Amino acid sequence: MPAETAEAVAWALQQSIVVDGDAYPVKKDTCQMLVDKVSEYFNANNIEYGSFSFADLMAGGFLD
């Protein structure tokens, strides 16, 4: 995982996803939403990363 992963997770947890006009906050237990937002952060900041999953974020201690 990139060195910026902790920053990406912190940013992702401040975001929400809008579905059919309803906003849903990203939380530690919204696995796919969290992974999607972390990827969005990496992409927006031109951070190179490989494929990863929610389990990788947990194993890395980024959700403690």
Model confidence pTM above 0.85: yes
Number of structural domains, the chain? 1
Domain hosting residue 21, numbered range: 5-59
Residue 38 lies in a domain: yes
Residue 41 lies in a domain: yes
In the block, residue with structure tokens 């401040």: 14
Q: What is the pLDDT of residue 45?
A: 98
Residue 51 lies in a domain: yes
Block means of pLDDT (10 residues each) for the chain, 64 residues, are 97 96 96 97 98 96 93
Residue 64 lies in a domain: no
3-state secondary structure of 51: coil
Residue 36 lies in a domain: yes
Residue 12 lies in a domain: yes
* Sign, CA torsion 43/49/54/60: negative
Q: What is the pLDDT of residue 1?
A: 95
Separation of alpha carbons 26 and 29, rounded Å? 8
